[in-house]
């Protein structure tokens, strides 16, 4: 069966019936949109759930947490994925449209800070990150941090960020900058993978993204709350127990308490099977689970 284009899905309203190709069988369509951090695991959940309940199709798209929440406000999705909590002004808009946003914690993530492998820095504090990323911050070159980065000709720091509709952007800003402004000249990438790809190929760069987007071609920095204090590395365990300074919840929002196929799907996402899938994708589960070996 082929999934309808995103434009059709958005126009179709909430949970819809779609016909299977080559026959009259009706399948229910759950529309799921939002966080780019969650999009890979959301797609994995959707594919696995097809085996659990072939009569339900989960159509997943990204675009950022803000995009998903906007669709929730407009009543054009069943589930909005978010890597940040819904804002007060967004909640007000939900209420104005006659809905109630219900939050579902589906996992945890360590928001990792990435460097090129030639960069000798192994740890940074939130204070130092604020000096790099913040408007008026004093760290504009790697020499300001006491290092020389091979391959970075003038030692200027290339600051890589996310677009402002991203929950990752919003959470990093809140946690590192205290809701202050980012410095001018950041390279704002559309997706998490784009951040990692740029850092991998740019010795002068620093970027941040979800732990699940790490690869063998970038280094992840150990992070401390304050300069001189013990740092914590980004891992599934440090995201789960909250010891990593930039750990966050991964969320799904529904308009009201879910019912019917949407409730069944969310219950499955929160089950051991669904939570083992999020672990497999590099995130921390929302609850302790025991997963089969090799999963």
Convert the pLDDT of each residue in 163-191 to its tens digit.
999 999 999 999 999 979 999 999 999 99
C-alpha of 215 from chain center? 16
Domain-embedded: residue 151: yes
Range of the domain at 274: 6-107+249-280
Say how many CA atoms lie within 13 Å of 204 toward its Cβ. Answer: 14
For the chain, the domain total comes to: 2
For residues 210 and 122, membership in a common domain is answered with yes
Instruction: Write the DSSP string, 100-117.
Output: -EEEEEEEEEEEEEEE-T
Domain-embedded: residue 12: yes
- Residue 172 has a CB neighbour count (10 Å cut-off) of 23
For residues 164 and 230, membership in a common domain is answered with yes
For residues 266 and 222, membership in a common domain is answered with no
Domain-embedded: residue 34: yes
Domain-embedded: residue 291: no
Q: Can you give the pLDDT at residue 3? A: 31
Domain-embedded: residue 292: no
For residues 140 and 164, membership in a common domain is answered with yes
Domain-embedded: residue 27: yes
For residues 14 and 27, membership in a common domain is answered with yes
For residues 16 and 65, membership in a common domain is answered with yes
Counting as low any pLDDT under 50, the low residues of the chain are: 1-13, 19-23
For residues 138 and 268, membership in a common domain is answered with no
For residues 145 and 155, membership in a common domain is answered with yes
Q: Can you give the pLDDT at residue 134? A: 98
- 18-75 per-position pLDDT tens digit: 544 444 567 899 999 999 999 999 999 999 999 999 999 999 999 999 999 999 999 9
205-210 and 158-162 beta bridge pairing: parallel
- 24-36 per-position pLDDT tens digit: 567 899 999 999 9
CATH number (domain holding residue 69) = 3.40.190.10
For residues 34 and 146, membership in a common domain is answered with no
**Site of tokens 């999020």:** 278
Domain-embedded: residue 36: yes
For residues 126 and 242, membership in a common domain is answered with yes
Domain-embedded: residue 133: yes
For residues 119 and 192, membership in a common domain is answered with yes
For residues 197 and 174, membership in a common domain is answered with yes
Please state, in angstroms and rounded to a whole number, the distance separating the CA atoms of residues 271 and 47.
16
């Amino acid at each position: 069966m082929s999934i309808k284009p995103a434009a059709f899905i958005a126009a179709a309203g909430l949970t819809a019936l779609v016909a299977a190709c080559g026959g009259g069988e009706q399948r229910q369509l759950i529309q799921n949109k939002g966080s780019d951090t969650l999009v890979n695991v959301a797609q994995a959940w959707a594919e696995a759930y097809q085996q659990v309940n072939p009569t339900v199709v989960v159509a997943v798209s990204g675009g950022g947490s803000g995009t998903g929440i906007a669709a929730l406000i407009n009543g054009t999705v069943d589930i909005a994925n978010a890597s940040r909590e819904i804002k007060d002004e967004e909640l007000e808009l939900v209420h104005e449209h006659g809905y109630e946003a219900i939050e579902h914690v589906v996992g945890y993530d360590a928001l990792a800070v990435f460097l090129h492998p030639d960069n000798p820095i192994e740890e940074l504090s939130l204070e130092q990150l604020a000096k790099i990323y913040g408007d008026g911050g004093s760290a504009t070159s790697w020499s300001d941090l006491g290092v020389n980065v091979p391959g970075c000709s003038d030692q200027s720091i290339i600051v890589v960020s996310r677009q402002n509709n991203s929950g990752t952007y919003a959470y990093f800003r809140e946690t590192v900058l205290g809701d202050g402004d980012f410095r001018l000249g950041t390279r704002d990438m559309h997706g998490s993978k784009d951040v990692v790809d740029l850092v991998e190929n740019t010795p002068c760069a620093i970027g941040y993204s979800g732990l699940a987007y790490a690869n063998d071609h970038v280094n992840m920095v150990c992070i401390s709350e304050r300069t001189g204090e013990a740092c914590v590395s980004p891992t599934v365990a440090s995201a789960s127990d909250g010891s990593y300074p930039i750990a966050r919840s991964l969320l799904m929002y529904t308009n009201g308490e879910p019912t019917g196929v949407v409730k069944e799907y969310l219950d499955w996402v929160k089950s051991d099977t669904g939570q083992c899938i999020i672990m497999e994708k590099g995130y921390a589960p929302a609850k302790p689970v025991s997963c089969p070996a090799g999963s």
